[in-house]
Chains A and B, each alone.
Chain A
Amino acid sequence: DAGVIQSPRHEVTEMGQEVTLRCKPISGHDYLFWYRQTMMRGLELLIYFNNNVPIDDSGMPEDRFSAKMPNASFSTLKIQPSEPRDSAVYFCASSLRKNSNQPQHFGDGTRLSIL
């Protein structure tokens, strides 16, 4: 079975540009999570969805960040405008509610560098 698929794997762009990160969860999973990993703050949950509906976005740092899940097989995390402090690795993860202790399956992450 295919795992969580994220694209791109690496992104380098100049500050002020719009950045869009993409995620395809595991088929059948009903929860999707977006995390950010930095050296200073470790792994932080930004937002998560259940059945395509955002449930908790309290981790989204500011209005420059937005996330959508238009359907069960696709989600985006957008940063506009981007800033150098947004440089990090962004992970997407998915899980299945039916098994309450089912761990989250992570994608390989997108390494984002804002110059």
Chain B
Amino acid sequence: AQTVTQSQPEMSVQEAETVTLSCTYDTSENNYYLFWYKQPPSRQMILVIRQEAYKQQNATENRFSVNFQKAAKSFSLKISDSQLGDTAMYFCAFMKHYGGATNKLIFGTGTLLAVQP
């Protein structure tokens, strides 16, 4: 069975600074996807970034980037130039890949990020 671990329940960062959120996972699969979702106080679940396991290049979306280490089963999220609107709960998630079939997401327990002015 797959598991996702986020070891940082809470983090704080000053506005405009950079912060890295950690995520590790356990799987015997070779093909899979990894995601970071953001949940602000409004409680929406918003996709931040995704990574395909077969791609060696780390995914980047504007101020958000990941450090994907497949051998170490690590998938950290870096937020650059932090903004007050980045304050939210961040969830790391894993999804198996079966030749094109959608499968269920397995979520970590989340990291609550507070951006301080």
Contacts and interface: CB of A to CB of B under 8 A. Distances in A.
A48 B45 contact: no
Contact of A100 (B42, B47, B100, B110): B100
B108 to A, nearest CB: 8
Contacts of A102: 102
Contacts of B35: 103
A97 B91 CA distance: 22
A5 B43 CA distance: 14
B91 A43 contact: yes
B97 A101 contact: yes
Contacts of A91: 45
B101 A100 contact: yes
Contacts of A31: 102
Nearest to A106: B45
Main secondary structure of the interface of A (DSSP, over half): strand
Nearest to B46: A106
A91 B104 CA distance: 14
Interface of A: 31, 33, 42-43, 45, 48, 50, 56, 89, 91, 93, 95-97, 100-104, 106, 108-109, 111
Given A42-B109, A108-B42, 18 more contacts: A42-B110, A43-B110, A45-B104, A45-B106, A48-B104, A89-B43, A93-B45, A96-B102, A97-B100, A100-B97, A100-B102, A101-B50, A103-B35, A103-B47, A103-B50, A108-B44, A109-B44, A111-B43
Nearest to B110: A42
Interface residues of B, number: 22
Contact of A106 (B33, B44, B99, B100): B44
Nearest to A50: B102
What are the nearest 8 A-B pairs in CB distance? Answer: A106-B45, A43-B107, A100-B100, A42-B109, A103-B47, A97-B102, A31-B102, A45-B104
A95 B110 contact: no
Interface centre among A42, A89, A97 (most CB of B within 10 A): A42
Contacts of B52: 101
A26 to B, nearest CB: 13
A99 to B, nearest CB: 9
